[in-house]
Amino acid sequence: MMSNYLFKQPSQVLRSAFTPGFRVSSGARNIAGAPRGGGAAATLLRPFSVLTDQTVNDTSLPMFMVGTPNGFLPRQDPQAELPKEFSRLESILQRMPIQLLDGEPGLLASGQFGEAVRDELPLYDVDQVHDQRLLSALFRDYSFAASAYLLEPCDVLFRQRGEYGLGRKVLPMNIAVPLTKVAEKIHSKPFMEYALSYALYNYKRLNPLADLTYDNLALVRAFAGSESEKGFVLSHVTMVAHSPKLIKYTVGALDAAQAKDRARFDQQMAGLNETYETINNEMEMMWSRSLPSDYVHFRTFIMGTKNQPMFPDGVIYEGVSDQPVVHRGESGANDSMVPLGDNLLQITERMPENPLTRVLKDFRTYRPTNHREFLEHVQDRAKQVNLKQFALQDDNSAALYLANVDQIRAFRHRHWNFTKEYIIKYTDHPVATGGSPIVTWLPNQLSAVLELLNEVGSGINMEQLSEGNKIRVDEIRKRANAQQRFLNREVAALKERFKNQDKTE
């Protein structure tokens, strides 16, 4: 069945080793050069290497590989236009948005995209395509075509009546077959993803030599074609543009904890906190770049087919399988920056065991293979060196740990505010784009972080802190207490309006 089209890809060992350890069975003898420390010497980690250059001319490696030059962005800028052998697909996608660049209506404006796919799009052969940059562009473009085709009827009805109705039940083979084959080649699922499609492989620089700043970026593909859609997507790109420093400080903090180097650990944690604060400040720019009232006009197309009432029976991929399949929709929850903090700070371990947390874990399968492996490695190594325990052994280190957890809180709290202002304010649809309950899912993670802040904050001896850390810890403790009380009341009230908020499948 199509739901099995996700394959594990081994990490590429390149340039600079993240850790020289190996994963071995429990009780195996230690290996020279493997990391020791944290009381977990018997648990050895497999190697993971972080790129130290972007290997610009290498098209044999995956586009998404964690590196110090690129962070969680692709190691090369996305290919913006398909070659001439895919000209009809390129033509349809350029004519697809509701509003074109020249202001004229596109195919989706009048519900003509499906007809264009049936009449114009050939069944392209992608078997001989091995160039990873082109494969990534084809995945982005076929996943855009798939979402536009399946959800076009829902968008038309929503614009007419404010309800979604039903999506198309069958994805035609001229999209389904090449999408599935390309997805296999890049080890992904055959549906739109945050990193591989909608956001992080969907930008181009206006000046190829200039930085990844908002004013220097444009979209490659769009559904609505509006300034707000552009702002929504590219704000994610500019946030992730800061992720190289997250990689640097994560590796540094783990190395310092393993070596029990307190001064270096504090330095790395301070750098990590500053970087997360920069990312949160960039996230705040979303309010001015993408108007809350506009989001519902392109949100339809980034919904999935799993746990969505528009697809009660799933979708059949014609020419691939006669069994219907479902996939989660595109979501910022698929981004790797907050999961990195979760795993490094050992927040993931304390997430409540419930269906909402299982959705969180499912979301984390919808990202590039190399990203998943890096996050898993960070989680394993943080547990091995017991980073949290090392931080809490010193009150000033604990304050830096607390500050980083608070940055994760700030990110999730802002995401929750976006959900209320961009979605809940304008629609009664009970499910988010990724198929999670709209009211309870984000508060599930946010509550766990607030509880951790209260727990760690109450255990810090304020008399041992520097003056700056005293102020910081006091502010964090007061805010976490107040925010937890307000969140509980807020969610309880919203659950009166949105029913079945425990439904996750």
Q: What is the pLDDT of residue 20?
A: 32
Q: What is the pLDDT of residue 64?
A: 96
> Are the CB atoms for 156 and 106 separated by under 8 Å?
no
The pTM score is 0.89
Residues 6+ apart with CB under 8 A from 15: 49, 50, 51, 52, 53
C-alpha–C-alpha distance, residues 262 and 209, integer Å: 40
Q: How far is CA 482 from the centre of its chain?
A: 28
> Are the CB atoms for 321 and 2 separated by under 8 Å?
yes
Nearest partner of 23 among 379, 475, 500, judged by Cα = 379
Q: What is the pLDDT of residue 4?
A: 34
Residue with token string 């520097």: 466
Residue with token string 């979402």: 147
> Are the CB atoms for 204 and 78 separated by under 8 Å?
yes
pLDDT per residue rounded down to tens, the chain (505 residues): 333 332 233 333 343 334 433 222 222 222 223 333 344 444 567 778 898 886 777 888 999 999 999 999 999 999 999 999 999 999 999 999 999 999 999 999 999 999 999 999 999 999 999 999 999 999 999 999 999 999 999 999 999 999 999 999 999 999 999 999 999 999 999 999 999 999 999 999 999 999 999 999 999 999 999 999 999 999 999 999 999 999 999 999 999 999 999 999 999 999 999 999 999 999 999 999 999 999 999 999 999 999 999 999 999 999 999 999 999 998 888 899 999 999 999 999 998 888 878 888 888 889 999 999 999 999 999 999 999 999 999 999 999 999 999 999 999 999 999 999 998 898 888 877 777 888 888 888 999 999 999 999 999 999 999 999 999 999 999 999 999 999 999 998 888 888 776 766 6
> Are the CB atoms for 38 and 111 separated by under 8 Å?
no
Residues 6+ apart with CB under 8 A from 450: 409, 480, 483, 484, 487
Dihedral, 88, 202, 213, 298 alpha carbons, nearest 10:
100
Q: What is the pLDDT of residue 25?
A: 25
The total of other beta-carbon atoms located within 10 Å of residue 440's CB is 21
Residue with token string 């084959």: 181
Nearest partner of 195 among 99, 73, 311, judged by Cα = 73
Dihedral, 140, 143, 149, 152 alpha carbons, nearest 10:
-80
Q: What is the pLDDT of residue 14?
A: 40
Give the max Cα distance, the chain.
74
Name the amino acid, one letter, at 331: S
C-alpha–C-alpha distance, residues 264 and 267, integer Å: 5
Give the tokens for residue 191: 């549906």
C-alpha–C-alpha distance, residues 118 and 171, integer Å: 11
Q: Are strands 203-205 and 217-219 parallel, antiparallel or unpaired?
A: antiparallel
Give the tokens for residue 133: 């940059």
> Are the CB atoms for 219 and 234 separated by under 8 Å?
yes
Residues 6+ apart with CB under 8 A from 94: none
Q: What is the pLDDT of residue 497?
A: 85
Q: How many residues does the chain have?
A: 505
The total of other beta-carbon atoms located within 10 Å of residue 500's CB is 10
Radius of gyration of the chain (CA): 23
- H helices of 290-346, where? 296-299, 337-344
C-alpha–C-alpha distance, residues 63 and 498, integer Å: 40
Residues 6+ apart with CB under 8 A from 146: 171, 175, 176, 179, 190, 191, 192
Quote the Cα angle for 252-254-256, to 5°.
65
> Are the CB atoms for 54 and 75 separated by under 8 Å?
yes
C-alpha–C-alpha distance, residues 313 and 202, integer Å: 30
